[in-house]
């Protein structure tokens, strides 16, 4: 199965699909959700009617665009874990129909839509839509990173100490304590946005310098990792290995606006007491 040409025309079609899902399924429900339209999936994790309707729109349109590609949507995989096995196969769409659902359900920003295309576990294309601002980020392997039609290069904030957004919520208590005691004091801490569609652009746009991610599910990270790496920053596993979508149960990743900042944080993590 040959890879598709991820050219400007292809990206324009994906952008149109994502904007339709946002306009038809997500934005009409923003700040209008009834309590019955919000369901708890797990502790501190909810799903809404907007997530489900958006995934239906995205899955149908992406299947039409590239019928040979399997589809792994967050809500479908949550209902049927066997769907994860598709990530090991050939071409595969990875869909987060509403990233930042907790924010959305509380009637606040940020939230977005994430779509990635992988081939045998390797992400080859990623597209990120901020539903409220309309910002559209995209990248392809060896093709660069773009916001709209403008190529972008990751840049650090320039602040000392560097700005860090540390996602510790899914860590084990002892791991969280070690990060907060030994890593956090080395940085200027900011709140995490609880939205990968916002966090990765922050690392590219000079708003944040480094991030630690513990849970690294493919629909949250596939598009953003590619976008950051293609922009000249670095996102990788804590041992330096590349992020792959077929390692969905593996935890831990560092993102940084520059390779130097990545190296500094990874070295500090390696020195944490075990």
Domain assignment present for 27: yes
Domain assignment present for 61: yes
Judge if 136 and 12 occupy the same domain: yes
The last residue of a domain, from among 127, 151, 175: 151
Domain assignment present for 157: no
The last residue of a domain, from among 151, 185, 217: 151
- pLDDT, tens digit, for every residue of 113-167? 999 999 999 999 999 999 999 999 999 999 999 999 999 999 999 999 999 999 9
CA Rg value for the chain:
18
Judge if 132 and 230 occupy the same domain: no
- DSSP secondary structure of 176-189: HHHIIIIIGGGSEE
Token reading at 146: 């773009």
Residue 43: pLDDT band (50, 70, 90) is: confident
Judge if 51 and 112 occupy the same domain: yes
- pLDDT, tens digit, for every residue of 71-128? 999 999 999 999 999 999 899 999 999 999 999 999 999 999 999 999 999 999 999 9
26: number of Cβ within 10 Å: 24
What sign does the dihedral 190-226-224-19 (CA atoms) show?
Answer: positive
- Dihedral angle, C-alpha 253, 6, 204, 193, nearest 10 °: -60
Residue linked to tokens 């209008």 = 32
Going through 100-209 in order, the beta strands assigned E by DSSP cover 112-119, 122-130, 136-140, 144-147, 150-151, 163-166, 188-189
Domain CATH number, residue 74: 3.30.540.10
| 65: Cβ contacts below 8 Å, ≥ 6 apart | 13, 14, 17
Judge if 66 and 89 occupy the same domain: yes
pTM: 0.96
Judge if 42 and 135 occupy the same domain: yes
Judge if 191 and 168 occupy the same domain: yes
Q: Give bridge partners of residue 163 from the DSSP assignment.
A: 188
Judge if 146 and 13 occupy the same domain: yes
| CB-CB contact of 167 with 175 (8 Å) | no
10-15, long-range: CB < 8 A, 24+ apart: 11/125, 11/127, 11/138, 13/65, 14/62, 14/65, 14/115, 14/127, 14/138, 15/127, 15/129, 15/136, 15/138
Judge if 27 and 143 occupy the same domain: yes
Judge if 137 and 168 occupy the same domain: no
Domain CATH number, residue 205: 3.40.190.80
| 12: Cβ contacts below 8 Å, ≥ 6 apart | none
Domain extent at residue 127 = 8-151
Domain assignment present for 169: yes
Domain assignment present for 156: no
Judge if 12 and 74 occupy the same domain: yes
Domain assignment present for 215: yes
Alpha carbon distance 221, 227 (integer Å):
10
Domain assignment present for 158: no
Judge if 52 and 133 occupy the same domain: yes
* Number of structural domains found in the chain: 2
The last residue of a domain, from among 151, 183, 204: 151
Residue 141, burial from CB neighbour count under 10 angstroms (0-12, 13-18, 19+): middle
Judge if 59 and 111 occupy the same domain: yes
Residues in the chain: 274
Alpha carbon distance 168, 149 (integer Å):
34
Residue 253: pLDDT band (50, 70, 90) is: very high
Amino acid 1: pLDDT: 64
- Among residues 34, 245, 41, 12, which one has the least CA distance to residue 124? 245
């Amino acid at each position: 199965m040959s890879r598709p040409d991820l050219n400007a025309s292809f990206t324009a079609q994906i952008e149109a699909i994502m904007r339709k899902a946002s306009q038809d399924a997500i934005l009409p429900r923003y700040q209008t959700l009834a309590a019955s339209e919000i369901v708890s999936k797990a502790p501190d994790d909810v799903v809404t009617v907007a997530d489900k309707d958006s995934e239906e729109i995205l899955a149908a349109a992406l299947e039409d665009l590239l019928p040979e590609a399997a589809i792994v949507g967050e809500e479908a995989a949550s209902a049927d874990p066997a769907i994860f096995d598709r990530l090991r196969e050939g071409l595969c769409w990875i869909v987060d129909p509403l990233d930042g659902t907790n924010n959305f359900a509380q009637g606040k920003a940020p939230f977005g839509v994430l779509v990635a295309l992988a081939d045998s576990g390797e992400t080859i294309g990623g597209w990120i839509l901020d539903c409220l601002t309309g910002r559209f980020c995209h990248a392809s392997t060896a093709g660069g990173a773009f916001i709209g039609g403008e190529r972008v290069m990751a840049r650090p904030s320039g602040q000392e100490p560097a700005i860090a957004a540390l996602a510790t919520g899914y860590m084990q208590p002892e791991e969280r304590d070690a990060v907060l005691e030994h890593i956090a004091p080395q940085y200027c801490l900011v709140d995490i946005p609880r939205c990968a569609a916002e966090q990765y652009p922050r690392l590219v746009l000079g708003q944040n310098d480094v991030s630690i991610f513990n849970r690294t599910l493919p629909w949250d990270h596939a598009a953003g990792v590619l976008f950051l790496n293609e922009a000249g920053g670095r996102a990788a596993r804590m041992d330096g290995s590349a992020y792959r979508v077929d390692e969905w149960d593996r935890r831990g990743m560092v993102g940084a606006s520059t390779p130097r900042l990545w190296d500094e944080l990874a070295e500090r993590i390696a020195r944490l007491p075990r």
